[in-house]
Amino acid sequence: MTSRLKSSLLLATALIMTMPALNPATAQGAASAAKADYSILTKPWTGPFNGVPPFDRITPEMFPPALDMSFAEARADVNRIANNPAAPTFANTIAALEASAPTLDRVAAMFFLQTANMNTDAYQALDRDWSPKFAALQDELYLNDKLFRRIATLYDSRATLGLEPDQLRLLTRTYEGFVRQGARLSPADKTKLSAMNQELANLFTDFSQRLQKDEETSLVATEAEMAGVPDGVKSAARAAAADRPDKPAYAIVNTRSAVDPVLTFADNRALRERVWRAFVNRGDNGGATDTNETIARIVKLRADRARLLGYPSHANWRMSDTMAVDPARAEELMLRVWKPAVARVAEEVADMEKISKHPIEPWDYLYYAEKVRKERYDLSAAETKPYFELNNMINASFYAANRLYGLSFKEISGTVPVFHPDVRVWEVTGPDGKHRALFYGDYYARAGKRSGAWMTEYRGQRRYPVVQTSLASNNNNFAKPGPGEPVLISYDDANTLFHEFGHAIHYMLQSIRYAGLSTTPRDFVEFPSQVNERWLLTRDVLDKYARHYKTGEAMPAALVDKIVKADTFNQGYATVSYLSSAIVDMKLHTLADGVVNPDTFERETLAAMGMPKQIVMRHRLPQFGHLFSGDSYSAGYYSYLWSETMDADTWAAFEEAGSPWDKATADRFRTILLSTGNETDRTEAYRAFRGRDPDVKALLKQRGFPTE
């Protein structure tokens, strides 16, 4: 998934607010910063590649005065536009907004990066203090009546302005965005809306910090309990144990990357249950890290806000700017896939119980699925993992991007600043050999870094008002091995790496004039990343890069064939665990009043859906960071399935062309869909690429489900 940084930066661009007085904690930070040169944050970035972020010189004390200064600049810029005595034109209003608040762009980029990766008391305090101020800043822009009147005047006369197509789209989207954010509300309702948004910003930070604390806990295990667990996983658990004061033999950190391998391989059923219960109860423990009250308040505020803005529910508001548009369309797609997925789970459970000789519980599913995989395909994750060495997989992703789109990657780590020593950097050039982007790779889990995998941009590409190239980053949480040991990742991990790199490719290939046309609808965002996963299993990529970490030998053809044949294995589990989360998200956010007890709602909704008892949601509500660490994915988790429908249909286009490397198809995909940002309507763009809407049958076929 993309991080909240991208959306936050776009919201922060050209924003305005009158800053409240600093609270005592912030004032102390500002005083401390007097000794620090906070202009490190505010000055234009220097160095090669249109300038690079000064990661190596940033301290938390710099942010309060830097943010204060950048907010003041934004305020002055927008006041100048709103109060311009000249009649509104595209140049003095819309284009002027695009060029405003450059300092805020830079400072906000660093702020959201540091608060996501540095879980220290200082950065947590900054996040709590400044997140509501960013929300107020956003509201000050969207609720500025003088500014909106200028935009509305242009919008009403748009047909007579002689605008170029991208300018007309930018004007239209700007106007619609202001309306959606409350520009037409009465002054009293604008005050209510701003108060809601600021409270929500505080709640999002509260949720994220509670969950992060829960994920930093770990369970201890003995040598005997870790029987069956691969050496690489045990090495990471030993390293985690070394950080604990009690120095146990092994420590299993409460994150998916650490937990899933134990659930897949540990022979000790009691350990699996203990690890599973700790993981699925993150945020749902009744203690200081419990998130249920926070979630209940978020859902209520969202419903109240939607009603204030004139929408029947939060889902209707959030989806008004998506490809699906209507929650009912998203639910229709999800339910079409739900029934065959549940039926497949019943088949998978029956196969596993033939081996287990006892009923399958949730902590048994991955373990016995691995046994069935081994029996049915003579294939185990332990057998394939030696061929998926991290460095080789990184190079594999670069190879595919080069062959498809002409991108080339040259590592320049050590020549530009990074925010952690583990971060690597590559210069990206296009087919013409000219600089196109920098790509940062932050691959390892560490204390203070939020869990999961995501892509973000420190700086987006645009040509106005000055040329900027993309600074894109992939962030994973692979377990870092002991010194000198290889980084062996699973096939699923390799898939994740290709997925996140697909996001990066999307932004590195982008070629647009205005940054305001960069962000695509939520249900399009995952499309480029999901389709990029397809090239991992191409024979060329596996033959060249899936090489044994000891011998360097290519993966045997027989093993490649087994991986390809097993690719639809366990799709019942994968689909149900994901879809249950997506359906619960949608049903939660279509509640008109938003009054909810999260645990009760989750339990009753799953029961009504017929959720198999052997599976738990991929993200239970108390830990559903996609939904409650910000608005970005709320009522939007369905988007992975919506995007996958396009992804499957796009892959079918390459298959119809006769090769996954077909140049004509890749060129059309790049020029119509990848490089255009949101300069054209994404539904129409897909139709231009494929000649029709995506066919859901391709998705069902891909997952191995009946297509009729």
Name, in order, each residue with C-beta under 8 angstroms of 626's C-beta and a sequence gap of 6 or more. 1, 585, 619, 632, 633, 634, 636, 637
Tokens 């004139």 label which residue?
Answer: 310
- Residues identified as active-site: 500
* Closest to 291 in 3D by CA, of 205, 199, 216, 201: 205
- Do residues 250 and 222 make contact, with C-beta atoms less than 8 angstroms apart? yes
CA distance 255 to 449: 11
H/E segment holding residue 424:
strand 424-429
Residues above pLDDT 70, as percent of the chain = 95
Arithmetic mean of pLDDT, 390-416: 98
Instruction: Please confirm whether the linkage preceding 483 is cis (ω < 30° from 0).
Output: no
Domains of the chain are 4-184 (1.10.1370.40), 218-280 (no CATH), 327-360+570-702 (1.10.1370.10), 385-564 (1.10.1370.40)
Evaluate if residue 21 carries a pLDDT over 70.
Answer: no
Tokens of 101: 């608040």
Per residue in 243-276, pLDDT tens? 899 999 999 999 898 999 999 999 999 999 999 9
Could you write out the DSSP letters of every residue in 573-591? Answer: HHHHHHHHHHHHHHHHTT-
**Could you tell me the CA-to-CA distances from 34 to 72, 133, 234, 335 in Å, in that order?**
18, 22, 47, 58
CA distance 94 to 100: 10
Tokens of 102: 């450059």
342 three-state secondary structure: helix
H/E segment holding residue 196:
helix 187-215
Categorize the per-residue pLDDT at 566 as very low, low, confident or very high, splitting at 50, 70 and 90.
Answer: confident
Evaluate if residue 60 carries a pLDDT over 50.
Answer: yes
CA distance 319 to 586: 11
Categorize the per-residue pLDDT at 1 as very low, low, confident or very high, splitting at 50, 70 and 90.
Answer: very low
Produce one character per residue of 347-381: b if its CB has 16 or more CB atoms within 10 Å, e if not.
Answer: ebbebbeeebeeebebbbbbbbbbbbbeeeeebbb
pTM for this entry? 0.88
Per residue in 395-406, pLDDT tens? 999 999 999 999
- Do residues 252 and 259 make contact, with C-beta atoms less than 8 angstroms apart? yes
Per residue in 341-367, pLDDT tens? 999 999 999 999 999 999 999 999 999
DSSP 488: B
Calculate the average pLDDT of the chain: 92
Categorize the per-residue pLDDT at 30 as very low, low, confident or very high, splitting at 50, 70 and 90.
Answer: very low
Per residue in 644-700, pLDDT tens? 999 999 999 999 999 999 999 999 999 999 999 999 999 999 999 999 999 998 998
Q: Which amino acid is at 205?
A: T
Arithmetic mean of pLDDT, 444-456: 86
